[in-house]
Amino acid sequence: MSIPLALCDLFPGTPTRSFVTTRFGSCEQGQILSEMFPERVVRMQQTHSANVVCYRPVAGPDLAWNTDGPETPVSYPLPIEGGICIPDTDALWTAETDTLLLVKTADCLPLSFYHPAGIVGVIHAGRKGLNTGLIANTFRDVCQALQHPKRYDISLKKNNTPTPFPFWIHYGASICVHCYQIDRDINLHMDLRQHAVLQVQKALAGHVLRETFSPFCTACHRHLFFSYRGGDATDRLYSGIVRPGPGM
Give the pLDDT mean for 32-58: 78
User: Do the beta carbons of residue 231 and residue 101 sit within 8 Å?
Assistant: no
The Cα-based distances of 157 to 115, 184, 195 in angstroms read 10, 49, 31
pLDDT at 150: 78
CATH code, domain carrying 120: 3.60.140.10
User: Do the beta carbons of residue 57 and residue 39 sit within 8 Å?
Assistant: no
pLDDT at 91: 97
Cβ atoms within 10 Å, residue 176: 18
pLDDT of residue 22 exceeding 90: no
The number of distinct structural domains making up the chain is 1
**How far is 129 from 18, CA to CA, in rounded Å?**
23
- Beta bridge partners of residue 148, listed in sequence order: none
Element (H, E) at 150: helix 149-152
In a domain, 90, yes or no: yes
Domain interval for residue 132: 5-242
pLDDT of residue 231 exceeding 60: yes
In a domain, 248, yes or no: no
DSSP string for 23-63: TT---GGG-S-TTTS-SEEEEE---S---EEEEE--SSS-E
In a domain, 88, yes or no: yes
pLDDT of residue 76 exceeding 70: no
Range of lowest pLDDT (30-44, 106-120, 126-140, 161-175): 30-44
In a domain, 186, yes or no: yes
**pLDDT tens-digit readout, 88-134:** 999 999 999 989 899 999 999 999 999 998 999 999 999 999 999 99
In a domain, 113, yes or no: yes
SS3 204: helix
* Arithmetic mean of pLDDT over the chain: 81
